A and B are shown apart, each in its own frame.
Chain A
Amino acid sequence: NAGVTQTPKFRILKIGQSMTLQCAQDMNHNYMYWYRQDPGMGLKLIYYSVGAGITDKGEVPNGYNVSRSTTEDFPLRLELAAPSQTSVYFCASSYSVQGARGGYTFGSGTRLTVV
């Protein structure tokens, strides 16, 4: 099993550009999440989804959008990129709502720089 696959691994954007970070999982997990990780700040929840067609805002949703048309895919859209969005983005999925069974499975991350 591939687990959670994120693409691209690295990206440099110019201010005002847009992009989509891709996330796919092959574990048939209903729950999926997007976090951003800034140095010394831990992981902040951007958006999450409890199933296909259902998404909800996390702690830091401004400047981002998501969709969940299938169980497998959970893309994150950045509109009008700003330097404050420079970060490492992690997608994760889980079997249960708390991740008690096996925990959250994280992808390897996308390192985004906005210049």
Chain B
Amino acid sequence: QQQVKQSPQSLIVQKGGISIINCAYENTAFDYFPWYQQFPGKGPALLIAIRPDVSEKKEGRFTISFNKSAKQFSLHIMDSQPGDSATYFCAAIPDTGRRALTFGSGTRLQVQP
């Protein structure tokens, strides 16, 4: 019930294209869904986050779409740039029980110039 499933494992996008990463969860107690970005040799850093009471959140070129009934959420990166090349993790945390983020398995994004 703690699992968050993420796809694809890797993604190659041309500069200027749209990158889409998907996540699904089972635990209905999850009530906060952040995305983290990790560059090689560094720890992950918060990119953007959403709560289940909204269906979409946008910050610059990054958008989270959230479908509560399907228990799915996704990250869209518009106008992808080579500097966006990194590993992206979705995550979730419940409002009860284990009070720590459960992470997806990660997506390695490569944006080709």
- Report yes or no: B2 in contact with A59, Cβ–Cβ below 8 A: yes
| A interface residues, how many (CB within 8 angstroms) | 28
- Report yes or no: A41 in contact with B105, Cβ–Cβ below 8 A: yes
| B interface residues, how many (CB within 8 angstroms) | 24
B44 touches which of A44, A98, A104 (Cβ 8 Å): A104
Q: Report the bound CA distance from A65 to B98 in whole Å.
A: 18
User: What does the 1/0 interface line of B36-60 toward A look like (CB < 8 Å)?
Assistant: 1000011111100100000000000
- Report yes or no: B6 in contact with A42, Cβ–Cβ below 8 A: yes
Q: Report the bound CA distance from A102 to B32 in whole Å.
A: 14
- Report yes or no: A103 in contact with B43, Cβ–Cβ below 8 A: no
B residues apposed to A, CB below 8 Å: 2, 6, 9, 32, 34, 36, 41-46, 49, 89, 93, 98-106
